[in-house]
């Protein structure tokens, strides 16, 4: 009860000062993560608290389904192929190289991990967090094209990470022998059936919502409720056929826009309301988890975290942007501001919910915790100084530079 009460109080206090905190280095993720940390430090008896693990993990699963659906449904796919295709470069070459390099670094830093376990770490930490990078994507001092590329990347890469994560988990369970068969079965069942279910729900649900809306059958207050029921239908429909509810929710979110043109508006409103409350709770819970594991961290976890936020992120971004003509300042700026946050936390919880019972599970968990915590602080406190420094660099560039095109 004390956990819920504390969280509600922090939400109330944050709401009072939220406008004053906008545009400062004190972000909501920092506030709620620190609140979770301080709660456990202030009430040591909570160390003995038996938190209902299954309930939290199920909440994380539902949260990821909603996150994937809302992210996909409010992304305008027409913005992906912009001039020189910056978002597409980040989501293809950049994303694949990030996972590959993350796995290679994982094997080097943690020799006891198998290549598939290292892949799990890399997939969990591959997506960037639009919430942690909100100051960046909303700052008019950053060229629109750069803001848009980072925003689209953060909106789509969580969904792209899910197939890799679930595939690595499936193959890790099977071990080296039989890994190929497990992989093919995973592709057919999890990805294939998940995509089919998601397409059906997205297309049919979107058509029905759009038709009812045009006929004025729907009360305006219930349009959002009708839309957000679709990802829950994805979970129910995937259960009997063995499909991945995460893939289904993502595909449904992409395709619902075809029949229901207002999907992006309603999903954004949900994300800014109830969805935001869920986000805050996840960061609050994450702060408590950090304290629970303080005595288990070691220098290898910190080393991987530092490499993940720098080399593993920045080198693939630099390679993916070759040939765009962007300045070195822009490449460095886009490489650094790829924060790890909500998506990585939830993907980590989903990994635990899978109960793969892998030998490297503890290493995976601790590495994700350290990396996300470091990112919350480092990217939060460096956002405004980073924008100031980058803006001064951009001011010296001409109007015809690639940064200002498109």
DSSP 361-374: HHHHHHHHHHHHHH
Inside any domain, residue 406: no
CB-CB neighbours of 43 under 10 Å: 13
3-state secondary structure of 83: helix
pTM for this predicted structure: 0.85
Q: Inter-axis angle of helices 2-21 and 28-42, to 10 degrees?
A: 150
Q: Residue 7 has which token pair? A: 């969280």
CATH label of the domain that carries residue 328: 1.20.1530.20
CB-CB neighbours of 40 under 10 Å: 20
Burial of 98 (C-beta count, 10 Å sphere; 0-12/13-18/19+): buried
Inside any domain, residue 317: yes
Inside any domain, residue 23: yes
Compute the Cα dihedral for 79, 83, 84, 86 and give only its sign: negative
Cβ(67)–Cβ(158) below 8 Å: yes
> Angle at CA 359, nearest 5°, toward 353 and 364?
60
Inside any domain, residue 198: yes
| φ, ψ (nearest 5 deg) of residue 25 | -80, -5
Distance from C-alpha of 388 to C-alpha of 23, rounded to nearest angstrom: 12
3-state secondary structure of 233: helix
The per-residue b/e assignment along 8-33, b for 16 or more CB within 10 angstroms, e otherwise, is eebbeebeeeeeeeeeeeebbbbbbb
Inside any domain, residue 403: no
DSSP state of 324: S
Inside any domain, residue 240: yes
Report the domain count for the chain: 1
Cβ(172)–Cβ(358) below 8 Å: yes
Q: Residue 341 to residues 32, 125, 344: CA-CA distances in angstroms?
A: 12, 9, 6
Q: What single string gives the DSSP state of each residue in 108-158?
A: HH-TTS-HHHHHHHHHHTSS--TTTTHHHHH-TTS-HHHHHHHHHHHHHHH
Residue with tokens 């009708």, as numbered in its chain? 226
Q: Residue 92 has which token pair? A: 């293809």
Q: Residue 373 has which token pair? A: 């915590």
Task: Give counts: helices (H), strands (E), the chain.
Answer: 19, 0
Inside any domain, residue 244: yes
Cβ(376)–Cβ(341) below 8 Å: yes
Q: Mean pLDDT in runs of 10 for the chain (406 residues)?
A: 85 88 82 92 67 65 79 65 71 94 96 94 91 75 85 81 85 62 63 85 89 81 80 86 82 85 70 73 88 90 96 95 88 91 86 80 94 93 88 75 68
What's the confidence (pLDDT) of residue 5?
86
Residue with tokens 């057919």, as numbered in its chain? 188
Inside any domain, residue 107: yes
Domain housing 287? 2-398
Residue with tokens 């951009």, as numbered in its chain? 394
């Amino acid at each position: 009860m004390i956990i819920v009460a504390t969280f509600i109080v922090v939400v109330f206090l944050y709401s009072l000062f939220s406008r004053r905190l906008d545009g400062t280095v004190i972000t909501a993720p920092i506030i709620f993560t620190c609140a979770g940390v301080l709660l456990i430090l202030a009430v040591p008896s909570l160390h003995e608290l038996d938190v209902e693990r299954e309930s939290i993990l199920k909440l994380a699963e539902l949260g990821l389904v909603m996150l994937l659906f809302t992210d996909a449904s409010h992304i305008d796919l027409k913005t992906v192929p912009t001039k020189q295709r910056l978002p597409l470069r980040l989501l293809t070459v950049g994303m694949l190289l990030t996972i590959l390099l993350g796995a290679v670094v994982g094997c080097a830093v943690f020799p006891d991990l198998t290549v598939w376990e290292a892949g799990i770490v890399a997939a969990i930490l591959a997506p960037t967090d639009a919430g942690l990078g909100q100051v960046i994507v909303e700052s008019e001092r950053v060229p629109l094209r750069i803001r848009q590329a980072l925003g689209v990347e953060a909106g789509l890469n969580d969904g792209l990470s899910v197939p890799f994560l679930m595939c690595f988990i499936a193959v890790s369970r099977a071990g080296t022998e039989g890994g190929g068969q497990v992989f093919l079965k995973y592709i057919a069942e999890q990805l294939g059936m998940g995509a089919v279910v998601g397409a059906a729900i997205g297309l049919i649900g979107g058509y029905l919502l759009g038709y009812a809306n045009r006929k004025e059958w729907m009360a305006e207050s219930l349009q959002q409720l009708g839309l957000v029921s679709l990802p829950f239908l994805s979970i129910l429909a995937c259960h009997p056929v063995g499909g991945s509810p995460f893939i289904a929710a993502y595909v449904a979110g992409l395709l619902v826009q075809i029949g229901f043109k207002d999907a992006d508006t309603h999903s954004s409103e949900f994300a800014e309301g109830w969805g935001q409350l869920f986000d805050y709770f996840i960061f609050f819970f994450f702060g408590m988890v950090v304290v629970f594991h303080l005595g288990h961290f070691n220098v290898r976890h910190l080393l991987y975290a530092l490499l993940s936020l720098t080399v593993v992120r920045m080198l693939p971004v630099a390679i993916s942007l070759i040939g765009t003509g962007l300045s070195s300042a822009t490449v460095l700026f886009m490489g650094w501001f790829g924060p790890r946050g909500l998506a990585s936390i939830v993907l980590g919880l989903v990994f635990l919910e899978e109960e793969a019972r892998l030998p490297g599970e503890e290493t995976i968990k601790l590495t994700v915790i350290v990396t996300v915590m470091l990112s919350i602080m480092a990217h939060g406190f460096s956002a405004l100084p980073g924008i100031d420094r980058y803006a001064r660099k951009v001011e010296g560039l001409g109007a015809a530079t690639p940064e200002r095109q498109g």
